Amino acid sequence: MEATLRFEELLQSLPECSGPTRHPLRRAGEDLDYSKTGLDAFVAPNLSARPDVSSSGNTPSVIIISAAGAVGKTTLANELAYRKRTLLWNLAASQPVGQSSLSGTLLSVFGASQIAGIDSALRSGELFMVIDALDEGRVKTTQAGFEAFLSDLADYAKTGQRVRFVVLGRTQIAEYTWLFLEYAGVSATLYNLETFTRAKAEEYVSRRIQTAWPEAFQRITSHEQPFVEARDLVFDHLRKVITGEGDKGDDTAENFIGYAPVLDAVATLLAGETNYGELISRLENQISQLSDAKNSPVALLQTIVETILDREHTQKILTNLKRVLENDAKRAGWKDWQSLYGLDQQCKLLMSVMVGRPIELDTGLPAELRSKFEDHLKTWLPEHPFLRDGNRPANTVFESYLLARSLSNPSMGFQRDAEAFMADASYKPSQLVADFYLVLAEKNNADEVSARHIGLLYEALMSAETDTLKVTLSLEGSDPDDLNVEEETEGEFEFIYISEDPAGTVVGTRTFKTMMRPETRITFGRQLRDASIVVPCILVLGTNAQEFTIGPRVDARCRSLEINASLLLVASDKESRTRSHGDEADVVLEADSYSGSVSKPPVARGALRVSWPRAAAFPWTEVHAEIDKEILQDEHLRDAYRRFRRIVMTLRSHSRGQLARYRAKIEHSRVLQGPLGEALLAKLVDDGVLKLDGRVYVWVPGTADSVVGISWHDLRLGRSSETLNRYLRDFLGEVTLAPRGEM
């Protein structure tokens, strides 16, 4: 297949199926059925072949389609099944998958009388299936159950030269599925679902308006030029602010402009407008104020969302309700129309609908006006542009905005509701929640993130990962045994934009601060990978799930570690195509205390090392680390070793293959912890173990080998050496030791 595959070419490569005419269902349900209707607003996307993936055969038996969250996988799955008159299996609505799930589900929907014919048709390639929501299917089962499910697919797909399955999922699980099938001897091809080009984005907006708001489409058709000017103003500004950042280029601009939820928001804005000249003027004024925003595209998206809310206020209150109730309001001596159904009140009402809370109104209206307003509200709210069918978010943009606003604004009264909504296993994380959250924080002149929200924002950003975008997390607080009552911890989300050209890799960052107490809980509910964490509080992995997946590339040191899962799965780079260098893919967990529900030895596909009191006991016996006896028996040597290790572990891999870190990071009080650390850092520089290169400290491997006798990797695993112990003893003999408690 070609590097780029058009939707029409994909259709031509798939078998023609006979649908329910030849293979009628005995029972249909939400999980497996024929797709009976296509989408009127469907705009055919393109697929791009992964340059790092090759099929083991010219004609694949399985086509895997990957994309970040909310790009349009489910829409594509439905359209494929509809056009080819074949079966669509939605794993999000299915029972947990496992061994014989495929054959068992087919037997359930077709019945015993047809199962032999269905089995034969699927194995021969006469029939194929579309399987959507791989990631939801994985979340609802164990690793063993998911692998048994993939083994069943492999069994059906191994024979013949026709496509048996088209499966769709988010990037990580799609990569894992491809690797599993390849190892199982199945010819499989992995494609990316591309976001829309500018031309397709324009087509999408028009079709969306035509199908959802036909009256607005007729109005636009009659006055097309103002509509085009307003649409192009938004698109052109998005491109300008993205490419203007200078580090990610046109591809990122295309991706954001072509992101379906963004286009849905643009369509909603344009469809509800009657005066495009006024809209253009208002947008230009607002756009001019976004030049200093750290994330201008999302800031513009926020402007679009809030313009829709403001328009709802204007149309419902100032244009309609005020005219109807103005005389009643005058008699009651009330005239604060601007406060009614404003942005905050609409968001509260919409969140009430979204999370199923009773609607509570605090309008300040006199009693005689309140009941009339509530009567109108019963009509308005179900038809709000942020809602679909009156009871759920219309798209990811509106849902993400409401969640981010609720999380970042405790006065709304929905913070806990939003947290519970996002922690639910059925919720699909979206990058836009984190984007909106950080933009709202910036708008309030703050870069602080609540510690309770770090895990939620991390999962939101991880949902955006693709083969060309990777996300990492860093949390740098004081040492776990720091007795400060409250301290400020620095956090950083890093975005690595990977290019086929090694010199083209670009790194972007979003930094934040968070306040921590010893009892603060930082929770990661689904997974943790590509993370470096040092915090003086409680680190929680999992929320009472069967399994928690960690790794690759995780370093975590905390006061207390809590793992709420029956089994800890340690992922390796072999489970994705992304490879680290050396041994950086290991997982290291250290804590002053541990609690949890892990009842089985960890399944460690990657290297795992754990260290806490009584870690030698089951189920950690095989992965616990022994502490150097010499260090364990000497408190002063132990202090020096811990300070040395903290300094060195603060270094990060550099693009040129070096371990380095900015001077301010290394010299921070949380790293050096006073005179002992300051003196040790100076000695390391004097002895050439570290080199100060401008504003950056650099690890010098050759000197480190001879002077301290230990590698960065061994130090990362908590090891020491006779040479290092001797070096630290000599150092301690050179400095004046304060009482241990004062260091």
The reported pLDDT for the residue numbered 368 is 81
What is the rounded average pLDDT of the residues 573-590?
A: 64
The reported pLDDT for the residue numbered 741 is 44
Cross-strand partners of 538: 521, 560
Q: CA-to-CA distance for 305 and 272, rounded, in angstroms?
A: 12
**Overall residue count recorded for the chain in this entry:** 743
Q: Please state, for a pLDDT cut of 90, what percent of the chain lies above it.
A: 60
The reported pLDDT for the residue numbered 539 is 98
Joined tokens for residue 378: 């019963």
The string of DSSP codes covering 413-465 is S-HHHHHHHHHSTT----HHHHHHHHHHHHHTT--B--GGGHHHHHHHHHTT-
The reported pLDDT for the residue numbered 78 is 95
Joined tokens for residue 245: 């950042």
Q: Which of 425, 428, 378 is nearest to 74 (CA)?
A: 428
Joined tokens for residue 605: 């596909």
Q: CA-to-CA distance for 333 and 31, rounded, in angstroms?
A: 57
> Distances in Å between the alpha carbon of 90 and those of 77, 104, 132, 421, 735?
9, 15, 5, 22, 67
Chain-wide mean pLDDT for the chain? 88
Joined tokens for residue 395: 């798209």
The helix (run of H) or strand (run of E) holding residue 13 is helix 7-13
Q: Which of 300, 526, 312, 527 is nearest to 432 (CA)?
A: 300
Q: What is the pLDDT of residues 283-341, one digit of tens each?
A: 888 877 776 666 678 888 999 999 999 999 999 988 888 888 888 888 888 888 888 89
Q: CA-to-CA distance for 477 and 710, rounded, in angstroms?
A: 25
Q: What is the pLDDT of residues 71-99, one digit of tens each?
A: 889 999 999 999 999 999 999 999 999 99
Q: Cα angle at 167 between 164 and 173, to 5 degrees? A: 135
Question: Which residue carries 């860093």 as its tokens?
Answer: 474
> Distances in Å between the alpha carbon of 474 and those of 50, 75, 297, 561, 564?
29, 35, 24, 17, 22
What is the rounded average pLDDT of the residues 575-594?
A: 70
| Comparison of pLDDT for 645 and 585, the residue scoring more | 645
Q: Which of 609, 642, 569, 599 is nearest to 713 (CA)?
A: 609
The reported pLDDT for the residue numbered 253 is 58
Alpha-carbon 344 to chain mean position? 26
Q: CA-to-CA distance for 386 and 322, rounded, in angstroms?
A: 23
The reported pLDDT for the residue numbered 112 is 92
Q: CA-to-CA distance for 663 and 654, rounded, in angstroms?
A: 14
The reported pLDDT for the residue numbered 16 is 87
The reported pLDDT for the residue numbered 607 is 85
Which residue spans within 17-155 are E strands per DSSP?
Answer: 32-34, 46-49, 62-67, 87-90, 129-132
The reported pLDDT for the residue numbered 245 is 47
Q: Which of 388, 485, 373, 471 is nearest to 429 (CA)?
A: 471
Q: Which of 491, 561, 548, 658 is nearest to 139 (CA)?
A: 548
Q: What is the pLDDT of residues 480-502, one digit of tens each?
A: 887 777 888 999 998 887 766 55
Q: What is the pLDDT of residues 680-727, one digit of tens each?
A: 999 999 999 999 999 999 999 999 999 999 998 889 888 999 999 999
What is the rounded average pLDDT of the residues 510-518?
A: 92
Residue 575 has pLDDT above 70, yes or no: no
Residue 420 has pLDDT above 70, yes or no: yes
State the DSSP code for 184.
T
187 neighbors 159 (Cβ within 8 angstroms)? no
Q: What is the pLDDT of residues 594-640, one digit of tens each?
A: 999 999 999 987 789 999 999 999 999 999 988 888 988 999 999 99
